[in-house]
Structures are given as structure tokens and as C-alpha cells.
Amino acid sequence: MSDQSTPEATNAETAAREGVSRRRLLGTAGATGLVLGAAGGATGYAAAPSTAAAPLTSLGSGRAMFHGKHQPGITDPMQACGHLVAFDLAAGAGRKEAAALLRRWSDTARRLMAGEPSGTRDTDVARDSGPSSLTVTFGFGYSFFGRTGLDGQRPVALDPLPDFSSDHLDKNRSNGDLWVQIGADDSLVAFHALRALQRDAGAAARVRWQMNGFNRSPGATSRPMTARNLMGQVDGTRNPKPSEADFDRRIFVPEQPGRNERAWMANGSYAVVRRIRMLLDDWEKLSLKGQEDVIGRRKSDGAPLSGGGETTEMDLEKTDKAGNLVVPVNAHARITRPDQNGGAAMVRRPFSYHDGFDADGVPDAGLLFICWQADPLRGFVPVQRKLDRGDALSQFIRHEASGLFAVPGGAAEGEYVGQRLLEG
């Protein structure tokens, strides 16, 4: 986790009548321009009324675009539920099979994100729903390039992440040849997409691991608010915004990549995925002040302990009457600040998760951490190394799974994701 976070958003406008049909929901989406993208991700609840929670009938009308400069699911507002799934290519499957699979997956994703059936064998799970802000994002792992004979096209930025002292990684739930991120504001829509893509894999690939996550539902609060994690903390305020002049440079690979990059990654990004278990029983034993000192922010509203509101700049030098730093030297929010890490920046777009309780009643719960950056060696890695050296939060969390994936740029009309790599 880090002090940088992704804004929570809703994409709703009011659907005027009861009993809105799927066709009319789609018509409403097209007519009112409910398309979520980079601009929506920059604020809180993009395009949401600020006076009241949105009616339930409007949730299904939100629509994200499949085709574009960047893949969906990176700058789009956070959705209420999500699935992360990694696949390994089957024995004997190579570049040809991978290309056919990405072609199938891209066509299915395009249909589902438009609120259409997945194809001729649609299961009807989402028959009554609109697009529900569904996004589907595809990425390639380090091992994918060897399996497909494309070692020469593997970017240097995809080199394996270093080991960290907080790692307790399960290799069976880490990495993978292919990675898919699914997000939606309706659980059935998200599951429908997961099942359709898994069926599309056929004999070409098998599931390596899969994780389920959730966030606050759009419209659940009376006004736009930053999301909270399962520790009850306001999880993030300092995410880079698409409106910032250097956003693209920090988050996306440039259209003319440098010598250590590959042309097929232009307008793409790198996703670091970590399953971070929160040791909630230990965390909840802390006093409110103890929790706030660990984070460096007030639990009530996310404001820095140095004063002000949630977005007030943190005063790292402020001391109390006894001369002690108001924001402790090992506070999580202090350590993760970009200006404390050589300007390292990443867009965090996580999901919370809860996978039940163990035999002792301890919750298996935490954060499916997902961060995006143009180069993980300049984004995630320096921040995590700094956290490794003395973050107060580290004794309350455990990194249990990890993956790094190259996520190419968006597919143009008539293209599939990864076509420039697989057919270049």
C-alpha cells in the first residue's frame, strides 16, 4: 500500500423511469455520453451528482470504451468489484495460438464492454444488465516471451522484481504468462466477463491463479469521497492525475520509446500486482492515535497529522510542544511521498479482498494492490525498497503474491490487443 491512491468514482446519470430495459440503458449511455476515461479518473466520482446518491437504475448505463490510445482499466474510475486472473499458455501453444487467443479475447471484451452478449455461446448471466462500467485489461508476463519465441521483444522494464524483506510470496499465485484485469460496477457483469474469457481460453491457456476484489459501490456515499481500505483508513489522496502535465510521461510508455523499450509497448504501461494481506486482528488492537501515527494521517478524514484537510500538503517538519515530529519519521504516508523517493510516481487502482477466515477465526483479507507506471524500476521498486527499510505499517501487512506485467497500448478499431507484438 502507499499514500498514493486512486479516486473512487461513479459514472451515473439518472435513468428516468422504472423498469429500464437493457436496450434503453444502452441507449441512455450513448445519448448522454457516459463514457469513462482519463478525465473521469482524475477527480472523484466523475460526472456524478454531488447532492445525492445515484439511483440504482443508473449504475448499469456507465460504459467504458474498449478501443483507444490506452487500454481501459488504468485511468477509469475505480469499480465496485473486480477479478484478477493469470493464465499460462498450454504445452505446445506458441505465438500463433497466443495471437488467436488475444484476438478472441479482444473481440469478447469489446462486446461485453458495450453491454452486448459475449458471442453465440453467451451464458445470459448478464442478460438484464447494462455495461456497468465494465473494463477488461490484458497484459504479458516475463515468461510469455520465451513461450512464444519473442525473447528479443521482451522489454528491460519487465525484468523480475527484486526480493523484498516483507515478501512471503506464494509462487503458485504469482506471475503468469498472461494477465487479465476485470472491473465493473455490478458483480454479475464482472463474473460474466470472467467466465467468458476463461471459456475463450479453450485449449490454448489454463488458469494459473485468480483473485476477487471489491470497492465501495458508486453512490454509496452522499458526496464524492476517497475510498477506504479494510483498515478503515482513507486510502489515498496523492494519486497522479491525468490533468497533470507530466502524467503521461510518468504512467505511460512514450510513443517513441527509448533504447531499452520496445515499439509495441508505445502508449502502454506496466502493472505491478501484489496480494497484500492485512493482519487485521493486530491492527485493530491499536488505539486510534496508534493507527494514525502508523499512517501519518487522521483516520476520520485522511488529513495529514500536521493539519488541514485531506488534500493539504503534509508538513514533514512540524513538531509538537515536546519537539517531536507530528508526522512520525516512519509513518507510511511520509515514506511513500514522491518527494521522498526521487519523484517516483504510480497510479494505484486497487481492490480490497476477503477470502474468509482460517481455523482460528483470523480473517484472510487485505488489498489486491495494482499500480501503474511507465517503468516499475522508477515507480514501484524505489518506493517498496524505502518501505522495506522502516515503514511502521510493515508489521501489520504481509505481501503474499506478486506479479509484473507489460500492458500494451490500446487496440485501434479493427485490431486486437497485442497485435503489434504478435504480428510485428
CA-wise closest residue to 135 among 180, 202, 86 = 180
CA-wise closest residue to 266 among 276, 280, 252 = 252
367-390 per-residue burial string, b: 16 or more CB within 10 A, e: under 16: bbbbbbbbbbbbbbbbbbebbbee
Which listed residue (88, 200, 235, 375) is catalytic? 235
What is the C-alpha to C-alpha distance for residues 249 and 373, in angstroms, rounded to an integer?
Answer: 9
Output the DSSP codes for 201-218.
HTTTEEEEEEEEEE-PPT
C-alpha cell, 240: 497522479
CA-wise closest residue to 272 among 294, 241, 251 = 251
CA-wise closest residue to 188 among 127, 108, 269, 120 = 127
| Torsion over CA: 184, 2, 267, 263 (sign) | negative
What is the C-alpha to C-alpha distance for residues 267 and 107, in angstroms, rounded to an integer?
Answer: 20
Q: Catalytic annotation on 235?
A: yes
277-299 per-residue burial string, b: 16 or more CB within 10 A, e: under 16: bbbbeebeeeeeeebbbbbbbbb
Residue 99 near residue 149, CB atoms below 8 Å: no
Output the DSSP codes for 69-108.
SS-SSSSSPBPSEEEEEEEEEPTT--HHHHHHHHHHHHHH
39 phi and psi angles, rounded to 5 deg: -65, -40
Residue 61 near residue 15, CB atoms below 8 Å: yes
Residues belonging to the active site: 235
